[in-house]
């Protein structure tokens, strides 16, 4: 039985929070039998209300420092690795969800973990080397056209570290003259993308992910979300 109400948080320490909320809200109309509540998460208390979480793009070093100061890092690790609640990280969010990261600032940076991968930060260079590429994301379903991948100081998965195939590669990109790079992975309830679906206006990845959330929580008999009117988030109308 899918749960009737689900609370989805967006970690709102910095980065593309509003964009995710807008697309999540649009995607939620694909599941009319479920009432979604969307919540900006800045405190452990807010996190504890969530059934699932999006960690947006932005700057993973800053996000980690702020999360540490707000007492959120350990609760986030529990959320992902002990409670196994569904989580999706985009770009900096993918970095946060990796077990290891390379090209970090001197002294390294704190991560949440959950994906047995090592990411390489800023693989394609600086902000001015941002690019857009058509991606074939088979998980979106047969007959779906390519997805416009927006890459901004994006990381890639440079190594899948688990030996037993738990990490599934769901998307790659190949720039002319370069090797293919892994840009979407999933391990159980943890999903990560190097690119930014929230900046495209294309709702398909958000809708797919919400479908996974509904399914995962249904299997666990969970979904304790607060019931609020559709069309609103804590950030107001989106």
Using rule CB under 6 A, residue 91 touches ligand GLN: yes
Binding range to ligand GLN, per CB under 6 A, among 43-51, 54-62, 137-145, 215-223: 54-62
Using rule CB under 6 A, residue 13 touches ligand GLN: no
Bridging pattern class, strands 5-11 and 35-41: parallel
Binding range to ligand GLN, per CB under 6 A, among 4-12, 26-34, 41-49, 58-66: 58-66
Judged by CB, which is closer to ligand GLN: 155, or 225? 155
* Alpha carbon distance 113, 172 (integer Å): 21
Report the DSSP beta bridge partners of residue 39: 9
> How many binding residues for ligand GLN (CB under 6 A)?
12
Using rule CB under 6 A, residue 59 touches ligand GLN: yes
Judged by CB, which is closer to ligand GLN: 202, or 222? 202
84 labelled catalytic: no
Q: What amino acid positions are annotated as catalytic residues?
A: 91, 196, 198
Q: Where does this chain bind ligand GLN (CB under 6 A)?
A: 57-60, 91-92, 95, 121-122, 152-153, 155
Binding-site residue ranges for L-glutamine? 58-60, 121, 152-153
């Amino acid at each position: 039985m899918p749960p009737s109400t689900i609370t989805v948080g967006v970690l709102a320490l910095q980065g593309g929070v509003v964009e995710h909320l807008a697309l999540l809200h649009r995607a939620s109309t694909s599941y009319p039998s479920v009432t979604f509540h969307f919540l900006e998460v800045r405190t452990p208390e807010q996190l504890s209300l969530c059934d699932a979480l999006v960690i947006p793009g932005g700057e993973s070093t800053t996000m980690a420092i702020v999360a540490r100061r707000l007492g959120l890092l350990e609760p986030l690790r529990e959320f992902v690795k002990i409670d196994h609640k569904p989580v999706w990280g985009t770009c900096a969010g993918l970095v946060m969800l990796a077990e290891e990261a390379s090209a970090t600032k001197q002294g390294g940076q704190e991560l949440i973990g959950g994906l047995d991968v090592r990411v390489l930060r800023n693989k394609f260079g600086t902000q001015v080397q941002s690019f857009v590429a058509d991606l074939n994301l088979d998980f979106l379903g047969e007959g779906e056209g390519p997805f416009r991948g927006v890459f901004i100081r994006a990381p890639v998965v440079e190594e899948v570290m688990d030996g037993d195939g738990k990490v599934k590669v769901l998307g790659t990109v190949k720039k002319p003259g370069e090797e293919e790079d892994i840009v979407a992975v999933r391990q159980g309830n943890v999903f990560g993308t190097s690119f930014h679906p929230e900046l495209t206006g294309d709702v398909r990845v958000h809708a797919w992910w919400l479908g996974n959330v509904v399914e995962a929580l249904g299997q666990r008999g969970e979904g304790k979300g607060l019931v609020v009117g559709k069309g609103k988030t804590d950030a107001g109308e989106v």
